[in-house]
Amino acid sequence: MSQYKCLICGYETDAPEAGDVGACRGNTARFRDRLHNLWKCPNCFTIHNIDPVDFEDIYRDYPLNKRCLDIYARGTLSNLLRRLRRAGLTKQASILDYGCGNGVFVQYLEEKSYTDVSGYDPFVAAYSKQPERQFDCVVGNDVIEHVADPRQTIRECSELVRPGGLLYLGTADSEPVKMNDLESHLMRLHQPFHRLIVTEKALHALAEETGFEFVRSYRRSYMDTLIPFSNYRFLDEFSRALGHDMDLMLDPASAKVMLRRPRLWFYAFWGYFFPSAFEPAVVLRRPLNQGASK
């Protein structure tokens, strides 16, 4: 790639500074032995994966699409739902989980008696049909870092929100990542699946472009809860103990690593107070005077 252009702020260069580029391994069994080339925009700090990618190929065996609604998922998703309820979500609302993977959050909402829940994910057959209506609430959580053009994806999500409805956007945070120390951020970088990782400031700027009203913003990850085992630091340390291999993390048999790493128990219960990363999020409301487009 002869020219580097930031898809968020438009900054361009043909000769990036050495401190703005780096390479790291993936954190799944399939990609852990490959190096993935990254560039961090010096203007807005967005991290770009600069390697070409076939989305259909990398998602054909995506480990997270094998996850289940277990104790970890219930703990973190309860926090995500709490944020939506704080913004006014009711059990009668129509909800779309945009980029739902194998539908764990859809299942969780149905378990909690939400009566009109849909999911969309182009790489999961059960949820690959594009939505054809608008919703009271669209959740785009852990989505915009996975796509080729975050701005376009946010636009698509916005169009699916009814006037007066809610839009939730949550993502990883690139700002603290040092390009000469990528190994310590493998879970956050999640290569090659995370294509662009933005800052909290950039997320807010992208949200403003929708013309929606800000309801609330968050800096802490929705995965940070006081529920034992359901905090980002524990998951990060658990991942590190398994060599940053997400396939192993999702294997129930890997829980035995807890017997060999007693410090994991500390983070399982107290990790909330020692965060290793942040995942900013915004809750937006579509103005009533923004007419429905669908």
Q: Cα–Cα distance between 167 and 95 in angstroms, integer?
A: 10
Query: Angle 4-5-6 (CA atoms, 0-180°, nearest 5)?
Result: 125
- Among candidates 266, 169, 265, 164, which has minimal Cα distance to 209? 169
| Amino acid at the residue 164 | G
Residue whose entry in the numeric block shows the structure tokens 């401190």: 19
Helix (H, G, I), strand (E, B) or coil at 288: coil
Please, how many CA atoms are within 13 Å of residue 141, restricted to the half-sphere of its CB?
29
pLDDT tens by residue, the chain, 294 residues: 448 999 999 999 999 999 999 999 999 999 999 999 999 999 999 999 999 999 999 999 999 999 999 988 999 999 999 999 999 999 999 999 999 999 999 999 999 999 999 999 999 999 999 999 999 999 999 999 999 999 999 999 999 999 999 999 999 999 999 999 999 999 999 999 999 999 999 999 999 999 999 999 999 999 999 999 999 999 999 999 999 999 999 999 999 999 999 999 999 999 999 999 999 999 999 999 886 544
150: left (phi over 0), alpha (psi -120 to 50) or beta: alpha
Predicted pLDDT of residue 72 = 85
Predicted pLDDT of residue 193 = 98
| Amino acid at the residue 57 | D
Contact 50, 1 (CB under 8 A): yes
pTM of this prediction?
0.95
Distances in whole angstroms, Cα of residue 112 to Cα of each of 47, 66, 91: 36, 21, 8
- Residue 234 is encoded by which pair of tokens? 């524990």
- CATH domain 63-285 topology: Rossmann fold (3.40.50)
The whole-angstrom distance between residue 64's C-alpha and the CA centroid of its chain comes to 12
Could you state, in order of their start, the residue ranges of all structural domains in the chain?
Answer: 4-53, 63-285
Q: Cα–Cα distance between 5 and 11 in angstroms, integer?
A: 6
Paired with 49 in beta bridges are 38
